[in-house]
Structure 1
Amino acid sequence: MAEFVLVTIKVHDMAWVENYAANVPAIIRKHGGAYFAVSESIRRFEGDGPDLDSIVLLTFPSRAATEDFISDPDYAPYKAARLAATSGDMFAFTSHG
C-alpha cells in the first residue's frame, strides 16, 4: 500500500537548502518516492503550532520504501543538515479512501 510522508518545516538557517534540493530528490527516487506537493504558501485554519515556512508531501510505494529512504546512508548527511537548521515534524501515513 502506498504511503505518504508529510514534513513540516520552520527554517532557522537557510545554508542547508541548496545542497539538500540538489541531492535529495535523486535519493527519494531511488526508493520509488516522489514529491507530491511542496509549498511555502501556508494558511492555518485551526491549531496553535508554530508558524511554518514550508510543507512537503512525498509519496512512496510502500512503508518499506519509506523506511528504506529514511534510513539510507546517502540521505543521512542531508537529513542531519536539515535537522540542524530547522524545526518541524515528519509523519508517514496511508490513505483509507
Structure 2
Amino acid sequence: MSAYVLVEVDIHDGSLYEEYKKLTPASIEAYGGRFVVRGLSVQVMEGDWKHDRLVLLEFPSKEVALSWYHSEAYQQARAIREKASSANFLIIG
C-alpha cells in the first residue's frame, strides 16, 4: 500500500532552501518515491493555513518512506533544510 509524506514548510532563507530543493529529488527517486505536489499555490477554503510551501510525496510503502527519511542522502539535505526553514513532516498510510 502506498504511503504519503505531507510536508508544510516555513522558509526563513530562500537561497539556502534552493540548495535543499536541488538535493532532495534524487534521494526521493532512489527510494521509489515521487512528488505528487511540489510548491503549488495553496488556496484556503476553510480553516487556517499559514505556511510558505506544501509538498506531498508518494512512496511504495510506509517502511520505504521511513527508510528514505532516515537515509544518509536525505540527512545531508535535511541539515540544509533545517537551517533554511522549519517544517512539519507527516506520514500517511
TM-score by length of 1: 0.85
Contact 2:11 2:52 in 1 (8 A): yes
Partner SS, residue 43 of structure 1:
coil
Return the letter of the residue paired with 1:62. Answer: S
Deviations 1:50-83 (A, max 9, x none): x111100000001111011001111112101112
Map 1:56-71; keep pairs closer than 5 Å: 56-71=55-70
2:9–2:87 contact (8 Å) kept in structure 1? yes
Give the partner amino acid of 2:4. Answer: F
Would you say 1:44 and 2:44 are equivalent positions? yes
Aligned residues: 93
Please say if residues 19 and 80 of structure 2, whose CA atoms lie closer than 8 Å, have aligned partners that are also in contact.
no
Pair 1:14-2:14 in alignment: yes
Distance 1:47 1:83, change over 3 A: farther
Deviation track 1:6-45 (CA, whole Å, cap 9, x = no partner) reads: 0001111113222222221011000010001113412223
Aligned to 1:72: 71
| Partner SS for 2:9 | strand
TM-score (norm 2): 0.88
- Percent identity of equivalent pairs: 31
Amino acid at match of 1:29: E
Unaligned runs of 5+ in 1: none
Which structure: greater helix fraction? 2
The aligned counterpart of 2:3 is 3
CA distance in 2, matches of 1:22, 1:86: 15
Q: CA RMSD in A?
A: 1.5
Larger mean CA deviation between 63-72 and 9-18 belongs to: 9-18
